[in-house]
Chain A
Amino acid sequence: MVRFKNRYVLCQVVAEEPRGRSCIEERAVGSAVKDAIARAYGDYGLACCSGAGPAVKYLNAYTGTVLLRCRKDFYRLLCSALPLVRQLESRGLRCPCFLSTLHVGGTIRSCQKFLIQYNRRQLLTLLQNCTNEEERQRIRQSVLSCSLTEEQSSSGEEEEEEEEDDGTETD
């Protein structure tokens, strides 16, 4: 069915300080991952995993979700080099962080399905910690509205969830 088989690795960037969130952009994450692969596997690793251009397919700066792509035969290289990422650099700012792998899938769609379920679970935990009644209402609405059928609705749900994230992160 598909000619070139890829593996899509879904990870989350976890940073300590809130200002680290502004560092997260495609090029910074891509270069950090490539740097980690180069340190662990050298030229061979660089060529296998990210020879075909930058491998970042999707990035959500609010939740820190990153979707990386690599060839099916070399996804282990990428996966084993991901824990070695220590910091992100962008525009002169260094932000110490780490990547944690959430899911490895064969297509973007399967990763998206997983991401929606994961975000729904995160929203439920946020609901438990919520103090404001208004926030509670909004979270409940977003939990009910997330689904895979329309692309606009899923991105809308993520936007709402980002706001909740921001609301609770700064607490």
Chain B
Amino acid sequence: MAGFADLNVPQGPDKKGLQSLLEAAARLGYSAVALNHVIDFKEKKQEIAKPVSPSELFPSLPIVQGTSKQLKVLTRLTLVVSDPSHCNLLRSTSSNIRLYDIIAVFPKTEKLFHIACTTLDVDIVCVNVTEKLPFYFRRPPVNMAIDRGIYFELLYTPAIKDSTMRRYTISNAISLMQICKGKNIVISSAAERPLELRGPYDVANLGLLFGLSESEAKAAVSTNCRATILHGETRKSACGVVYTVKKLRKVEEEETVPACKKAKTQA
């Protein structure tokens, strides 16, 4: 079974706090954690810094309880977009974005949600949980996102902290579930302190609150997270696919077969 992963741990400047967070996550049983950098374009134009490699920040990663492997720490970037011009940053090929393991986008309007699901090259689309959704989800972009392998992310830490946030979280989650039928969902924390983290079994139970079935909720914490990480890796490595189309001509087919065989033995 895939290990549990928590894909959203906000990266603050406090190194000690982050270390205690990672230790708490390892103790609870998470095999992988992604440090999240949030870039908001509403404020003045910010530079996207190169991601700090986790091995520089933490010389010794804590060992996951239950296994004997070290905690895997990945880097993640979240772009809060409220304007279509912000997306241009994603299309540029020579920026530091390519160095992050996972890229997430947080659309604020319906049009941007559509663009994010259909054309943008991201791994995760964040679903707002802290306020009432300004737009309704529609089926076509959600289905296209599921086909492309993009996952929708729900945060659970606001649900723990505050009662009104909990209501928004649950209502937004349920409206998402109705459209996507529980597929391609990832639940993660945005925990700033170790006390806001919850174990993976508990997070799967929280998924039941959001309207997922039991197997879907468990998948949301384990297999879907692993799929997102793999999606990020393929995005980093694969630029494009070249495929050749053979023209069907009967006479030439017999001639080309021995040539192929020759090439294979030579190569």
Contacts and interface: CB of A to CB of B under 8 A. Distances in A.
Contacts of A86: 160-161, 195
Interface in B51-72: 65-66
Interface stretch (A24-32, A62-70, A92-100, A148-156): A92-100
Nearest to A78: B205
A80 B166 CA distance: 13
B202 A82 contact: yes
Given A83-B160, A84-B160, A125-B65, A98 B198 contact: yes
A76 B205 contact: yes
Contacts of B206: 80, 83
B194 A16 contact: yes
A59 interface: no
B202 A83 contact: yes
A82 B195 contact: no
A97 B163 CA distance: 18
Given A100-B28, A125-B65, A83 B203 contact: yes
A59 B197 CA distance: 23
A115 interface: no
Interface in B245-261: none
Interface residues of A, number: 19
A101 B202 contact: yes
B149 interface: no
A92 B66 CA distance: 36
Contact of B201 (A16, A39, A101, A121): A101
A84 B161 CA distance: 8
B209 A82 contact: no
Q: Is the interface of B mostly helix, strand, loop or mixed?
A: helix
Interface in A52-96: 76, 79-80, 82-84, 86, 96
B205 A101 contact: yes
B163 A39 contact: yes
A40 interface: yes
A121 B63 CA distance: 14
A40 B160 CA distance: 10
Contacts of A16: 194-195
Contact of B205 (A14, A80, A96): A80
A125 B64 CA distance: 11
Interface string B184-210: 000000000011111101110110110
A76 B208 contact: yes
B196 to A, nearest CB: 8
Interface of A: 14, 16, 39-40, 76, 79-80, 82-84, 86, 96-101, 121, 125
6 contacts: A16-B195, A80-B205, A80-B206, A80-B209, A83-B206, A84-B166
Given A86-B161, A99-B202, 11 more contacts: A79-B202, A79-B205, A79-B208, A80-B205, A83-B206, A84-B159, A96-B195, A98-B195, A98-B198, A100-B201, A121-B66
